[in-house]
Structure 1
Amino acid sequence: MATDRLYRPTLLLSFPPNPNHSIPTPTSHLKPSKPPNSPPLNTLNASPIFEHHFETPSASYNRSIQSLSGRRDVDGSMRLLAQMESSGVHPDVAAYAALIDALGSAGRTSEAEALFLELKMRGIQPNTRLYNALLKGFLRKGLLGLSDRVFREMDGCGVVGDRRTYMLLLDYCVNAGRLEDTWRVLGEMKKKRIQLGSCVYSKIIGIYSDNGMWKKAIGLMREMEDAGVRPDRKVYNSIINTFGKYGRLVEAVEAYENMRRDEIRPDILTWNSLIRWHCKAGEFDRAIGFFEGMQEEGFYPDPKVFVSVISGLGEQGRWEEIWRVFEGMKRRGLRNCGIVFAALVDIYGQYGMFQDVEECIAAIKAEGVRPSAGVFCALANAYAQQGLCEQTVNVFRLMEAEGIEPNLIMLNLMINAFSVAGRYLEALSVFEHIKESGISPDVVTYSTLMKACIRARKYDQVPVIYHEMESAGCTPDRKARQMLQTASLFLGQRDADPFGGVVKMHPPQREDV
């Protein structure tokens, strides 16, 4: 099955021991490289970042690398590492783990992998913490193939994954819409008797919601009760969001009231879901009521809540009220918030209220805001919705010029822009670029490409993409299934499931799942 790929990959990260290196004892790499009577640290031309002059050079370097990495000062950590190695001292495992984690979080996975291999070349067997740090970076960037190899290597080396390992895998599977892989990870966690907890349940509720299984999400609440797990704020937030997403606002409000009865105080996410989905349903007055109730509870409205209100106003074309709310945000000190500008760009852009990319970015910079990835994605989305391909590509170039690495969201938006414009071949070329870059396409990628094929009347390509999505381990969502059904009608190959409306067009030699 396609889902076996997550647990049975090819092992490529194993390196043979270097015969020129002696195998250290478990603690030999932690010993100081200078004898106890070495000169004080400040006479060794050490970095001024060190504060404790009675530490050994090795300990001082390790502490400083961990500190800088924790603050995500990756360049500072790398400079300190180079200085450390030039003095003949190597980092300890904790410093390596912190630096690999920071590099992965910054998207610099090649450097993270190089450090990991360097540690192995020194004869040190990585522990679970190191593997988790590397795995986190790969999964964060969507490099599923490399993540598979890391997981397999852990198994081959006898390194047992802990709860953190499985939570990283679970997060990725949920966010990528890989429903079957999510079930496999969940099964492994139960098999290894890893405590699930309300955090895990909230994630599973989320993926059920994304796949239209809101009834299963409710059933999961009962399973929690049977297991003696008390729903916490995260679980209630997931349930409220699930009900709201599928227009069941009465049930969403009931869940909110149950939350109150359980003496769990709503947080910003709770209010945001209630406001957002009521706005989307056109019940704007009720949304404003929740907005005011949030403030009465003593919550200071954050940008996400403002975005929900602004978006609701935008859908109703209430531009003067949008500007009034925005001016109120600036009075509250939220002038320099990138997410607010992203929302304004998205709303005004979708209604064609600006055309020049450079002019829009310059206006944002004039407000003292450095455009973030969210702003660029919102701007690209605004152009993509109108099929303005050249402007979308221009946003992509400006994003790179600002030193922001384009992510899968941005590339999906480019596919959508070409799709809306009916430029199927360009959309396909972006899709191939995603795969060649080592990024694993998600459900949105495949669904958007299917939409491009339908717009270009390439109906025969839709089943091919659908099967590739399944083979890659992504669970087709409702939109993907509907597009497959549409294509099959034109192809005269309709084979709909009368209970779910799912079209099954598997090759004869493959057993239907």
Structure 2
Amino acid sequence: MQFEGAYGIINDMEQMKLRPTSSMYNIILSGYFREKNFHGARNVLKQMEVAGVKPDALTFSYLISNAHCEKDVIKFYDAMCNSGVQPTKHVFMGLINAYAACGQFEKAKQIVSDSRIPVQNLNEIKNVLVGALASNGQLSGALKMYEEIKEADCNLNPKAIKSLIEHFQCKGELNKSLQLLKELNDSPYWIDACFKVISYCIQQENLRSTVDLLKQLKDKFSDAELAAEVLFDEVFCLLAEKEPSDMQFCLNLLKSVKEEVGVLPSRKSLDFLLSACANAKDSKASFVIWKEYETAGLPYNVLSFVRMYQALLASGDRKSANKILNKIPKDDPHVRCVIRACKETYTKHASLGTKGKKKHGQLAATLGLLDELKAESGH
């Protein structure tokens, strides 16, 4: 945000004998708070005071929402009341979020009982309470308010539902997350929430739920093949990032994606699976994935050879790794750097402690550099 430019407009108005409004300062104030620039926010308040512009309800809602402790929440709210400014829905929302962030959950819940809340705003404010409680670990309270909103046949805020989904996963309640996801079906939040549930299913190695959600994801992008491919790549990336385990879940998921979902894995997806093989030190699974390149009609390139080499070295199959090494073109210095990093990581007797983790991290960074080079070259 160009704060200096915004201030410049206000200064120009003063020179033209036009009085700036609180709305103009509020725009700058909200920008500073978004960037967590509290010093800049304080300067806005000083500028308002110098210009003789009084804070309005929106100004106070920003101050309350960004208060660091309960004492500050009360201070800003009292200042608002003493100045004669009446609370608006934004102020009530700010109070809920501020109290919840400070751990004052009962006070946050009491806000929705305030008789000054207009009837037309009550449901929206209750939805904010659902999100605030869920975001701060108060799932039982969030769910109770959520059920209350449903029973009253009121609209459920998609953002609040998404927040519930994310935090129910922390508690391991997959069925509840799946149920909530259905209520987001026509919302722009659905894709992000669905991906988060898929991520949880993969961590738990829940094949059935993962496949069912991938089918839904594919249906959402039936007219956008490229977008669907990107999302499926992200799913396979999760397999490469998860804690090393038996590769059987990965292989079962790959089979289901092909046979049930009807999607052939992209080159990037197979690269991620080879990385998963390296993490799991599974040479048998590496050869299965290696054949998938041919099945998908994807010619082997330098990056696929390097990742296969890495996977075989990690599994201890040096004989097969050397065969792959002989097929890797070594004219590129970056490729030679990656090969050297693989050898240093997997062929030396590295400890399993911090030093070993550091070497694996360095190798991941080197492979990432090779990924970027391949992307730039368009190969």
Q: TM-score, normalised by structure 1?
A: 0.42
**AA at the equivalent of 2:90:** R
Q: 1:96 aligns with which of 60, 63, 67?
A: 60
Do residues 282 (structure 1) and 282 (structure 2) align? no
Tell me if structure 1 keeps the 8 A contact 2:64–2:94. yes
**Residues 145 and 222 of structure 1: is their aligned pair in 2 closer, same or farther, counting only changes over 3 Å?**
closer
C-alpha separation between the residues in 2 aligned to 1:328 and 1:64? Answer: 48
C-alpha separation between the residues in 1 aligned to 2:148 and 2:41? Answer: 36
Instruction: Within 5 Å, give how 1:125-136 maps onto structure 2.
Output: 125-136=86-97
Aligned to 2:173: 213
C-alpha separation between the residues in 2 aligned to 1:81 and 1:175? Answer: 29
Tell me if structure 2 keeps the 8 A contact 1:208–1:216. yes
**Residues 124 and 220 of structure 1: is their aligned pair in 2 closer, same or farther, counting only changes over 3 Å?**
closer
Tell me if structure 2 keeps the 8 A contact 1:77–1:99. no
Instruction: Within 5 Å, give how 1:168-187 maps onto structure 2.
Output: 168-187=128-147
Aligned to 2:154: 194
C-alpha separation between the residues in 2 aligned to 1:315 and 1:195? Answer: 52
Aligned to 2:18: 56
Tell me if structure 2 keeps the 8 A contact 1:96–1:115. yes
How far residue 109 of structure 1 moved from its aligned partner, in angstroms, is 5.7
Aligned residues: 267
User: Any idea what the Cα deviations from partners look like across 1:301-347, whole Å, max 9, x if unmatched?
Assistant: 9xxxxxx99998999967544212224557889xxxxxxxxxxxxxx
C-alpha separation between the residues in 2 aligned to 1:270 and 1:182? Answer: 32
Report the 3-state secondary structure (helix = DSSP H, G, I; strand = E; otherwise coil) of the residue aligned with 2:93. helix
Aligned to 1:165: 125
C-alpha separation between the residues in 2 aligned to 1:91 and 1:197? Answer: 29
Report the 3-state secondary structure (helix = DSSP H, G, I; strand = E; otherwise coil) of the residue aligned with 2:10. coil
Tell me if structure 2 keeps the 8 A contact 1:198–1:235. no
How far residue 283 of structure 1 moved from its aligned partner, in angstroms, is 5.1
Aligned to 2:103: 142
Aligned to 1:358: none
**AA at the equivalent of 1:169:** L
Give the CA RMSD over aligned residues. 4.5
Do residues 249 (structure 1) and 207 (structure 2) align? yes
How far residue 186 of structure 1 moved from its aligned partner, in angstroms, is 0.9
**AA at the equivalent of 1:196:** L
User: Any idea what the Cα deviations from partners look like across 1:142-164, whole Å, max 9, x if unmatched?
Assistant: 33244245444xx2334444555
Aligned to 1:324: 363
Normalized per residue, which structure has more helix? Answer: 2
C-alpha separation between the residues in 2 aligned to 1:144 and 1:194? Answer: 23
User: Any idea what the Cα deviations from partners look like across 1:28-74, whole Å, max 9, x if unmatched?
Assistant: xxxxxxxxxxxxxxxxxxx7572542473341x64134213323233
How far residue 248 of structure 1 moved from its aligned partner, in angstroms, is 0.9
Identity of aligned residues (%): 14
**Residues 240 and 151 of structure 1: is their aligned pair in 2 closer, same or farther, counting only changes over 3 Å?**
same
How far residue 294 of structure 1 moved from its aligned partner, in angstroms, is 7.8
**Residues 197 and 68 of structure 1: is their aligned pair in 2 closer, same or farther, counting only changes over 3 Å?**
closer
How far residue 75 of structure 1 moved from its aligned partner, in angstroms, is 1.9
Tell me if structure 2 keeps the 8 A contact 1:138–1:144. yes
Q: Which runs of 5+ in 1 are unaligned?
A: 1-46, 302-307, 334-513
Aligned to 1:467: none
C-alpha separation between the residues in 2 aligned to 1:151 and 1:119? Answer: 19
C-alpha separation between the residues in 1 aligned to 2:191 and 2:137? Answer: 23
Aligned to 1:117: 78
**Residues 119 and 162 of structure 1: is their aligned pair in 2 closer, same or farther, counting only changes over 3 Å?**
same
Tell me if structure 2 keeps the 8 A contact 1:240–1:255. yes
Q: 2:39 aligns with which of 75, 94, 98?
A: 75
Report the 3-state secondary structure (helix = DSSP H, G, I; strand = E; otherwise coil) of the residue aligned with 1:50. helix
How far residue 128 of structure 1 moved from its aligned partner, in angstroms, is 0.6
User: Any idea what the Cα deviations from partners look like across 1:5-47, whole Å, max 9, x if unmatched?
Assistant: xxxxxxxxxxxxxxxxxxxxxxxxxxxxxxxxxxxxxxxxxx7
How far residue 130 of structure 1 moved from its aligned partner, in angstroms, is 1.6
**Residues 223 and 148 of structure 1: is their aligned pair in 2 closer, same or farther, counting only changes over 3 Å?**
closer
Tell me if structure 2 keeps the 8 A contact 1:63–1:95. no
Report the 3-state secondary structure (helix = DSSP H, G, I; strand = E; otherwise coil) of the residue aligned with 1:57. coil
Report the 3-state secondary structure (helix = DSSP H, G, I; strand = E; otherwise coil) of the residue aligned with 2:214. helix
The higher-RCO structure (CA 8 Å, 6+ apart) is: 1
Aligned to 1:21: none
Q: Say which is worse superposed, 233-242 or 49-58, in terms of deviation.
A: 49-58
C-alpha separation between the residues in 1 aligned to 2:124 and 2:229? Answer: 25
C-alpha separation between the residues in 2 aligned to 1:224 and 1:180? Answer: 20
**Residues 93 and 294 of structure 1: is their aligned pair in 2 closer, same or farther, counting only changes over 3 Å?**
farther
Report the 3-state secondary structure (helix = DSSP H, G, I; strand = E; otherwise coil) of the residue aligned with 1:157. coil
**Residues 187 and 99 of structure 1: is their aligned pair in 2 closer, same or farther, counting only changes over 3 Å?**
same
**AA at the equivalent of 1:263:** F
Aligned to 2:217: 259
C-alpha separation between the residues in 1 aligned to 2:26 and 2:238? Answer: 42
C-alpha separation between the residues in 2 aligned to 1:181 and 1:332? Answer: 46
Q: Which runs of 5+ in 2 are unaligned?
A: 1-6, 258-264, 282-351, 373-379
C-alpha separation between the residues in 1 aligned to 2:216 and 2:84? Answer: 56
Structure of greater Rg: 2
C-alpha separation between the residues in 2 aligned to 1:159 and 1:165? Answer: 10
Instruction: Within 5 Å, give how 1:270-349 maps onto structure 2.
Output: 274-276=236-238, 279-280=242-243, 282=245, 286=250, 296=268, 320-329=359-368
How far residue 124 of structure 1 moved from its aligned partner, in angstroms, is 1.9
Tell me if structure 2 keeps the 8 A contact 1:135–1:147. yes
